[in-house]
């Protein structure tokens, strides 16, 4: 199954996608994580991308498209993948369609995770991430057993720089202007599904699974 999860920041793509990809036995490919990794390693690409990420803006298409083409043609993605964070605008979606066509395949599902603005801000401002393994928690909705420390690996938890209120507002604006038009691009395609992502974790997961299987 070749699957794209898209939706506004904070909709739950990362947390729900992790569970879904594990259930389905496919790799979860998260462009935000790949870019943060490049920033942490201080590569040339990381230094370039970091400036855009800090400001809540999209990294230039050519950087991200190159990164994704390399990743989805890796051997572990040969039988499928779950993509989170890409495509993020219509140019990226067109590049993705062309890229897959060159390999003789296409997307099986494009799932739009739809959540209200209040929920998004609440989720993003309380998000906590493990410095070591990247596992995602929430201060209130999925708190770690020990405050400040990861249940999975014992690593220290931190708040992403771009999960501060001013950058959240900018990211939501970028979403509306650049990513939301993807709805029109995908919604008439047979692979398209919309999932109500406003509810609690279990409810959203059940709806997501049903949408992917239907």
Please identify every residue annotated as catalytic: 13, 88, 127, 160, 171
Which residue in the set 7, 8, 9, 12 belongs to the binding site for ligand AMP (CB under 6 A)? 9
Pairing of strands 192-196, 136-138: unpaired
Instruction: State the nearest-atom distance from the C-beta of 42 to ligand AMP, in Å.
Output: 16
**Of 37-45, 52-60, 142-150, 183-191, which part binds ligand AMP (CB under 6 A)?**
52-60
* Terminal-to-terminal C-alpha distance of the chain: 13
Per-residue contact flags (x/-) with ligand AMP for residues 171 to 210, judged by CB under 6 A: x---------------------------------------
Cβ neighbours of residue 149 under 8 Å, at least 6 residues apart? Answer: 155, 156, 157
Which residues bind to ligand ADP, rule: CB under 6 A?
A: 9-15, 123-124, 127, 136-138, 141-142, 200-201, 204
Per-residue mark of binding to ligand AMP, 134-173 (x: CB under 6 A): ----------------------------x--------x--
Cβ-in-10-Å burial (0-12, 13-18, 19+) of 81 comes to buried
Task: Residue 208: name the closest of 139, 36, 197, 200 by CA.
Answer: 197
Give the span between the Cα atoms of 5 and 125, in whole angstroms. 21
């Amino acid at each position: 199954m070749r699957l794209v999860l898209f939706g506004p920041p904070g909709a739950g793509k990362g947390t729900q996608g992790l569970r879904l990809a594990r259930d389905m036995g496919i790799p979860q490919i998260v462009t935000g994580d790949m870019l943060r990794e490049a920033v942490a390693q201080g590569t040339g690409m990381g230094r370039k991308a970091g400036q855009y990420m800090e400001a809540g803006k999209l990294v230039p298409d050519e950087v991200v498209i190159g990164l994704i083409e390399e990743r989805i043609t890796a051997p572990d993605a040969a039988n499928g993948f779950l993509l989170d964070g890409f495509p993020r605008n219509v140019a990226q979606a067109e590049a993705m369609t062309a890229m897959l066509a060159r390999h003789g395949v296409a997307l099986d599902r494009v799932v739009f995770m739809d959540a209200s603005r209040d929920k998004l801000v609440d989720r993003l401002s309380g998000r906590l991430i493990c410095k070591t393994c990247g596992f995602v928690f929430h201060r209130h909705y999925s708190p770690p057993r020990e405050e400040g420390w990861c249940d999975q690996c014992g690593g220290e938890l931190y708040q992403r720089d771009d999960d501060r209120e001013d950058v959240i507002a900018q990211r939501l604006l970028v979403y509306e202007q650049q990513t939301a038009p993807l709805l029109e691009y995908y919604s008439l395609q047979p692979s398209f599904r919309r999932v109500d992502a406003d509810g609690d974790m279990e409810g959203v997961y059940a709806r997501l699974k049903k949408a992917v299987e239907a």
